[in-house]
Chains A and B, each alone.
Chain A
Amino acid sequence: MRIGAYRLSVERAEAPSPARVALGALLAVALALLLASVLFWTPESGPWTAYRIAFGYAFANPSGLGATVHRAVYLLLCTLAFLIPLRGGLWNIGLPGQVYAGALAAFAVPFWAGARELGSGTAGGVALLSMPLAAALAGAALGALVGLLRAKLAVNEILVTMMLNSVMFWLVSDFIKEGGAFMSATAEGESFTLPEAFRPPLPLGLPPSAFLGLAAAVVVDFVFSRAAAGYRVRTFGLNPQAARYAGIDPVRVSLWVFVLGGAFSGLAGYHYFAAVPGLYKIPTNYGYYGDLSFYGIICALIARGSAVGAVPMALLFAGLSVGGRFAQGALRLPFGVDYAILGLLMTTFVFSHLVDRYRVVWRPTAPAPTSAPPRPEGAR
């Protein structure tokens, strides 16, 4: 397009600068919030009121802030579960299934200890440690299956993880409904409540899984930027063919990124169902918590694969979902505001992906020739 003496064009940017990448991420979030304001528009109140209510509850109300922080930890663990395979070029969208596996494994510990029947059991440090460990192992086992199928037979990991999500969703129902092994003695459709002895300590009001998640984010970034293992995963993710030539074992990389990813998802399942005050059970609407794990995908994508960069994202999106649901009730908005924001964020991420890849270029147009150039001698 020509504007005056300049020509405006959109060109492909082969290597976007870090500043452009950061700008793209910020634009994605800002645009999603702008679009979400349409959802918050009611005849009685504008979007500003809704955002004030949502963010006020999520970050200024003590009860809301607690919920936001716990959810942020959950989202951070889910983010790590998605991000590690992503750096290896693989998509782990089996977060809900691995979260459910972790929750079931965590509840299996007090169940086997007989705490379900007692209502309150005695648990030592070993039992308390066993719960997150069992959760991480269960998630890792599910991840290992995906990783092995991908690595050995090139089975599409997106399809396998989605199938496993559905398998695990129904298995949780089997455990907590219609006389299932973990069903509460007093309420149909939810698990038994975790006895106090099996609830983790809360230093600074947070369960140990919160500190583990934060530490893991730092370690993951360090490994990807400084360690040989991270280099191998990144190389495999960027160019599997070149990685093979360089002697990187594709089976080992695919397996381990999924094992680690699954372990973090399993831990997220432990965190939300067994370590967050006020819940301590697998509730009837456990599917909602599974769906929330998809926010981890958005966090990782918008943070462009940086685990530490995903921490503020996780906090923001946790606040948005907690506050959005509160505003939904306060303003009598339709159910699903948090789901809609999730969708909008994903769309704006795809948009920001384009901002990374393309750039708008202004160039002065060449002055038009005033007369025909002289012909070289001898030319016909």
Chain B
Amino acid sequence: MNELLARSLEASTVFLLAALGELVNQRSGILNVGLEGLMLFGGTAAFLVAQSTGSYPAGLAAGIAVGGLLGWVHGLFSIRLRGDQVVSGMGLWILSFGLTTYLGSPHTGPLGLPRFPALLGLSPFVYFGILLVVAVWFVLSRTSLGLAIRSVGESPAAAAASGVNVAGIRYLCVVFGGTLAGLAGAAYTLSYNPVWNYNFLMGWGFVSLALVFFSMWNPWVLLGGSVLFGAMWQLSLSPEYVLPGVLSRYVWRTVPFGVTIAILTVISTPWFRTRWGLAKPQALGVPYAD
């Protein structure tokens, strides 16, 4: 059971890292639906570099760098060129899906390195993720940088009028979001499941994206949601812990996705919106021309 708990927390961390970056992204008004693609690329880069160099730090650095670079590319298209953010995100996702399959296929199989070092029985990413939640909450709600990020996400014109560099803040956020997506991919391929397989994420990035909506753009709610989804994901892989022999393992695999749809539906109802309110950034997904 302890093993299940530890694995659940590790799965939660992958969701948390990716979703936290996207939360910051969205608070600045930029939507990146290609989050899964950034994770795929970051995870594949981390896996290939770690395998070829035998070094985890090198793999991590590669994952983060690739994620950040792709985040910047999304920013370039969305901020500088004022393109459709959905088109850019989908482009990044399909590009990543195609290219990582081609680049990673010769390396299909286990990483072949000693297990990622653990800290008190848990992956160090778990602690880092929690620290990051605190840091993101602090920056967003207690600093002038956070105020600038929130203001460009709500009303970029008003932010610009008060002297905020809208494009600069948005670039900062998309690159930050990209690096965290790359890190999430790296945490997946180096620590959580160090085996490369084509399209290894199979929806983790999209669940992370859904978690941002579920969190109502609040880092603490996001932490809770990630823990819930991590546990649910792990249970869907090992249903024998709760309901042995009930339904096939394939049906259990559908549960996290079905629950995601159910949650998205509930938080979109007028009842939920009026009772709890949705702190959706007003300028989310809208190109800004200064």
- Beta-carbon nearest neighbor of B36 in chain A: A162
A238 within 8 A of B: no
Mark each residue of chain A from 295 to 339: 1 if its CB lies under 8 Å from any CB of chain B, else 0.
001100100000000000000000000000000000000111101
Q: Report the Cα distance A57→B204, complex, angstroms.
A: 37
Task: Determine, out of B7-15, B59-67, B99-107, B215-223, the stretch whose residues face the partner at the interface.
Answer: B99-107
User: Bound complex: CA of A170 vs CA of B233, how far in Å?
Assistant: 14
Bound together, the chains give a CA A166 to CA B210 distance in angstroms of 14
CB under 8 Å from chain B, chain A span 334-375: 334-337, 339-344, 346-347, 349-350, 353-354, 357-358
Say yes or no for B268: interface residue by CB 8 A criterion: yes
**Residue from the list B77, B207, B250, B264 in contact with A173, Cβ < 8 A:** B250
B83 interfacial by beta-carbon distance below 8 Å: yes
**B53 at interface by CB-CB < 8 Å:** no
Contact of A350 among B88, B248, B261 (CB under 8 A): B88
CB neighbours (8 Å) of B203 from chain A are 162-163, 165-166
Interchain CB contact under 8 A, B206 and A163: yes
What mask results when residues 186 to 209 of chain B are scored 1 for a CB within 8 Å of chain A, else 0? 000000000000110011001101
> For residues 134 through 171 of chain A, which have their beta carbon under 8 Å from a beta carbon of chain B?
149, 153-156, 158-160, 162-167, 169-171
Given the contacts A160-B264, A164-B257, A166-B203, A349 and B102 also touching, CB distance less than 8 Å: no
Asked whether any CB of chain A lies closer than 8 Å to the CB of B95, the reply is yes
1/0 contact trace for B251-290 toward A, CB 8 Å?
Answer: 1011001101100110011000000000000000000000
Contact B254 A336 (CB under 8 A): no
Most buried by B among A93, A166, A357, A358: A166
Q: How far is the CA of A39 from the CA of B98 in the complex (A)?
A: 12
Closest to B261 in A: A163
Contacts of A155 in B (CB 8 A): 264-265, 268
Q: Is the CB of B102 within 8 A of A91?
A: no
Instruction: State the Cβ distance, B82 to closest chain A Cβ, in Å.
Output: 8
Instruction: Name B260's closest neighbour in chain A (CB-CB).
Output: A163
- Whole-angstrom distance between the Cβ of B134 and the nearest chain A Cβ: 27
Is there an interface contact between A153 and B99, defined as CB atoms closer than 8 Å? no
* CB of B87 within 8 Å of the partner chain: yes
Per the bound structure, the CA–CA distance linking A346 and B97 in Å amounts to: 11
Q: A334-B106, A350-B77 are in contact. Are A159 and B264 (CB under 8 A)?
A: yes
Q: List residues 61-111 of chain B with CB under 8 A from any CB of chain A.
A: 77, 81, 83-84, 86-88, 90-91, 94-99, 101-103, 105-106
Q: Could you tell me which A residues sit within 8 Å of B by CB distance?
A: 39, 91, 93, 149, 153-156, 158-160, 162-167, 169-171, 173-174, 177-178, 180, 291, 294, 297-298, 301, 334-337, 339-344, 346-347, 349-350, 353-354, 357-358
Given contacts A159-B209, A159-B210, A180-B248, 18 further A-B contacts (CB under 8 A): A91-B86, A153-B269, A159-B206, A162-B206, A163-B257, A166-B202, A171-B250, A178-B250, A335-B105, A336-B105, A336-B198, A337-B102, A342-B97, A343-B94, A343-B95, A347-B91, A347-B95, A350-B91
Q: Show 10 residue pairs from A and B whose CB-CB distance is below 8 angstroms, ordered by the A residue.
A: A39-B102, A149-B265, A154-B268, A163-B261, A167-B258, A170-B250, A301-B87, A339-B97, A342-B94, A346-B95
